[in-house]
């Protein structure tokens, strides 16, 4: 496995997640599970390198003429804003900063 075996797209995001496509070279496709999504341990064992917390959530076959055969798509939850920054807004609504911290942990 070398760095040339993988292509990492630029990251893009919506309001909840950051996303990234990882294109895997044809000779490594045999090692990608066909019937399930990979755990972090599994995709790291393949040689995919990303920061912690990325979740494998979709597989898309690449175009036939491409050098690679498979596109794995990952997502990473975008954390809520700093609780201190939201303290004022939550106090106006009648919630304390402690409530916000509890809510934040439940959302993650």
The per-residue pLDDT for range 62-94, each reduced to its tens digit, is: 665 555 556 778 889 887 655 555 555 455 455
Which pLDDT does position 2 carry in this prediction? 62
Which two structure tokens, joined as six digits, stand for 26?
């044809």
C-alpha–C-alpha distance, residues 28 and 33, integer Å: 11
Q: How many CB atoms lie within 10 A of CB 66?
A: 14
Which pLDDT does position 19 carry in this prediction? 94
Q: Which domains does the chain have, with CATH numbers?
A: 3-77 (3.30.170.10), 80-108 (no CATH)
Q: DSSP E strands: which ranges in 2-103? A: 6-8, 12-13, 17-25, 55-61, 68-77
Query: CB–CB of 17/35 below 8 Å?
Result: no
Q: Tens digit of pLDDT for each residue in 20-65?
A: 999 888 788 888 887 899 999 999 998 999 999 999 998 876 665 5
- pTM here? 0.63
């Amino acid at each position: 496995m070398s760095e040339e075996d993988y292509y990492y797209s630029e990251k893009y995001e919506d309001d909840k997640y950051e996303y990234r496509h990882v294109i895997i070279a044809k000779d490594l496709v045999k090692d990608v599970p066909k019937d399930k999504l990979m755990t972090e341990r599994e995709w790291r064992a393949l040689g995919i390198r990303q920061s912690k917390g990325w979740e494998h959530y979709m597989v898309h076959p690449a175009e036939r003429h491409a050098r690679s055969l498979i596109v794995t798509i990952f997502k990473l939850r975008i954390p809520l804003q700093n609780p201190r920054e939201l303290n004022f807004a939550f106090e106006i609504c009648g919630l304390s900063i402690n409530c916000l911290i509890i809510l934040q942990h439940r959302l993650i």
